[in-house]
């Protein structure tokens, strides 16, 4: 019923094509209710997955000067005791390495300093 779209109302696909008949009440409505339950559960799961995926992702500028300034600020903040900066520091270092602003040796030294 659901796959064939025979259960949906032609004017509004979000509502079922319902009636007061015995067949609707005892056979079709339970199918519709289960379909709605699965759809809502699936949408909720997808929303959570998207939220986890985007959570903590920030915007990194492509300007190397801005990245270097941000890196200096984050390293000073980490040295002062802020512990929640590691991911952003690594992202900036990765981007600077990709842009060939940072050498492999400098990258390794920064990662070693980061883990202290």
Whole-prediction pTM: 0.51
Each residue of 10-49: pLDDT tens digit? 777 777 877 888 988 888 888 888 888 888 888 888 877 7
Each residue of 67-91: pLDDT tens digit? 999 999 999 999 898 888 888 899 9
Task: Output the CA angle 92-55-71, nearest 5 degrees.
Answer: 20
CA–CA separation, 37 and 39 (whole Å): 5
In the 8-state DSSP scheme, what is residue 25?
I
Which bin fits 100, alpha (ψ -120 to 50), beta or left (φ > 0)?
Answer: left
């Amino acid at each position: 019923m659901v796959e064939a779209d025979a259960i949906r109302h032609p004017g509004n696909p979000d509502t079922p094509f319902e009636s007061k008949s015995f067949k609707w009440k005892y056979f079709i409505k339970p199918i519709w209710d289960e379909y709605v339950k699965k759809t809502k559960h699936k949408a909720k799961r997808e929303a959570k997955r998207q939220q986890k995926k985007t959570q903590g992702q920030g915007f990194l500028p492509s300007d190397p000067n801005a990245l270097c300034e941000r890196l200096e600020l984050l390293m000073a903040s980490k040295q002062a005791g802020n512990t929640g900066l590691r991911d952003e520091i690594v992202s900036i270092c990765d981007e600077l390495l990709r842009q060939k602003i940072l050498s492999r040796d400098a990258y390794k030294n920064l990662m070693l300093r980061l883990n202290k």
